[in-house]
Amino acid sequence: MSKDDLPLKLDRIESYHAHVYFDGSEQRETAELLREEIAERFSVLLGRWHDRPVGPHALAMYQVAFLPVEFPRLVPWLMVNRRGLTILIHPNTGEPKSDHLERALWLGAVLEIDTAPLSDHEDSEVEIVPNTRPTVSP
Ligand code: ZN
């Protein structure tokens, strides 16, 4: 798909990722707290910790995957509770390169994205099955 195919239909967005970045032990502790708070409040799939940069990401981080229905609750909550952490939010439309570069939303600083591991021709299905049971209303 090229830019000529815009506008993209909303139903192309299968899910979203929020990548919560941290740099150093103090920010890691903050990221731990945020992770617990997210798990208590939202239907999300929490990815494992990456204490070193992986894939296109410039800093250590973990990923939070969620369905579009959770976007209007989770994203505003992150806006007001991120405690200085940088968070990248991007849609998953099956075109990882465009999703990370052109369609991304940043909370806090804009970090570099390494384009080498990204392409727009990944056809792997993104299936999100939230595995947490929120217990606290946000
Ligand atoms: Zn992602």
Ligand 1 centroid – CA 63 distance (Å)? 7
Identity (one letter) of the amino acid at 33?
L
Ligand 1 centroid – CA 31 distance (Å)? 17
Per-residue pLDDT of the chain (138 residues; tens, 9 = 90+): 556 678 999 999 999 999 999 999 999 999 999 999 999 999 999 999 999 999 999 899 999 999 999 999 999 999 999 999 999 999 999 999 999 999 999 999 999 998 888 888 765 555 556 655 667 777
Using one digit for the tens of pLDDT, what is the confidence trace for 55-79?
999 899 999 999 999 999 999 999 9
Ligand 1 centroid – CA 20 distance (Å)? 10
Ligand 1 centroid – CA 136 distance (Å)? 25
Ligand 1 centroid – CA 90 distance (Å)? 7
Pairing relation of β-strands 87-92 and 15-22? antiparallel
Ligand 1 centroid – CA 47 distance (Å)? 10
What's the pLDDT score for residue 28?
A: 98
Q: Cα(114)–Cα(134) distance, rounded to whole angstroms?
A: 33
